[in-house]
Amino acid sequence: MGVPLIEPLADAKRWRSVKSLGKDELDLGLNRCLAQIDANMSVFGNGQFPTPATTNGLYGVMGNDEWTNGFWTGQLWLAYELTGELRYRTLAETNVESFLERVEHRHELDHHDLGFLYIPSCVAAFKVCGSERGRRAAVLAADQLMTRWQARGRFFQAWGPMDSPDHYRFIIDCLLNVPLLYWASDATGDPTYAACARDHFMTTCAHIIRADGSAFHTFYMDPITGGPDHGATRQGYSDDSAWARGQAWGIDGISINIRHTGMKGYRDYARSMRNYYLNRLPEDSVCYWDLIFGDGSDQPRDSSAAAIAACGFAEMASQGASEEERAINEGALAITLRSLINNYTTDVPAPGAPILHHGVYSWHSGKGVDEGNIWGDYFFLEAIARKLITWNPYW
C-alpha cells in the first residue's frame, strides 16, 4: 500500500485561526486533574491500581495484572513534574517496585503491551529522577517485548501463541509500545531494539493505514510468506469503519516514531490520519467511539480517543513542519483540550472517579461504555503538561 491520500480539511481556516489556550484554561484543567489524582491516591496505594475502566462512574481496585496499569503511575509522574510535590513521586516509586517484580516474574506479560505498561511508569522514573530500578524494569520489559517479534513479517505480534497462524497479526495500538525499544537502544547501546521498532513502524504504515487515511484496528499477515493478508477490527464498529481510538493511536504513534527515527517522509501518513479524524468530528470536537458516527447517532463518545489525539497534535506541532501545519496542529490541540476541560471533566472529585468522563473501552463487549478509562485520564494530563512545561516525553 502506498502513501495514503491527504484528504483536504473541510474547514482548514477553523483549525488555523483558533484562539490559543489561556493559562487560566490550562490551570483549570490541571487543577481538576490534580484534585482527582489526590482523591484517587486514597484508594490506589501500595501496589494497588485502578481497573481499566470505571463501572457506574468508579474504578475498581486491582493488582498489577492488566495492560493498563502504567497509566495510573504515569499520572503520578506527570503530577510530580508539574508540581514538584514529593507525595506523587513517593507513590510512583512504590509502583515502580511492583512493575519490576512483575517483569522479573513475567506475570501477565505474554502480549505486546509492554510499552503501555513500562513507558509511563519505569521509563518515566528513569527520565524524571534517574531511577536505576526503573531502568532495570524497563530494559527487562523491552527484552520481553522482543519475544513478540515476527522476523518473517517484520512486526510485533499482538497476542496469542507465536506459532499460531490465527494470531499472526499486529494492531495499530502497538505504535505506542515500540517507543520502549527506541529507549532501550539508547539505554543499553544495543541497536537491535530500535531496528525492530523501526521495521514494525514501517510495516504498520505500509499495511494498516487505508488509502483514504483511515485505519484498520488490526492487520493479518500471511504466516507462510510474511506478506500482507487482510485488515479487520476487534474494536471498531466494522472492518471497514474507523475506530476512533485506533485513529488517535495512529496520529500520535506515527508522530512519535518519526521523532525517534528521523523518517520525515512519513509525515504524510500522520497528516492523512489527522485530516480524516478532524473532518469527522461532531460539533463539540470530541469524537464518537467510531468515526462512522456523528451528531444525532445516539452513540457514545470516546473522550480518551480525543485525549490521545490531542497529544498527537502536540507532537506534530513540535516537529518543525510548515507554519500552516503548525497552526493547524496547535488549533486542533486547543479546540480538543478546551472541549475536554469544559465538557468532560468535573470540579467535584470523588475517590475512585475518573478525570475524564464519557469514554469507551470496548463497545462490542460492553466494557466501559460511556465510562471513564485510565488511559484517557493519563493522556489528558499529558496533553496539558505539554502546554504548561518543557516536557521530556516519556514515549
Query: Which residues, in sequence order, are CB contacts of 369 under 8 Å at separation 6+?
Result: 300, 360, 361, 362, 363
What is the distance between the alpha carbons of residues 35 and 268, in angstroms, rounded to a whole number? 39
> Of these residues, 113, 252, 302, 377, which one is catalytic?
113
Q: Which of 164, 126, 130 is nearest to 142 (CA)?
A: 126
Cell numbers 499529558 correspond to 382
Q: Does 173 qualify as catalytic in the annotation?
A: yes
Residues 98 and 141 sit within 8 Å (Cβ to Cβ): no
Helix (H) or strand (E) holding 155: strand 155-156
> Of these residues, 24, 143, 166, 173, which one is catalytic?
173
Query: Where in the chain does DSSP place strands (E)?
Result: 49-50, 61-62, 149-150, 155-156, 169-171, 218-221, 228-232, 359-362, 367-371
Q: Does 290 qualify as catalytic in the annotation?
A: no
Look at the alpha carbons of 257, 259, 261, 267 in this order and tell me if their dihedral is positive or negative: positive
Helix (H) or strand (E) holding 231: strand 228-232
Amino acid sitting at position 33: C
Cell numbers 489526590 correspond to 38
Catalytic center residues: 113, 173
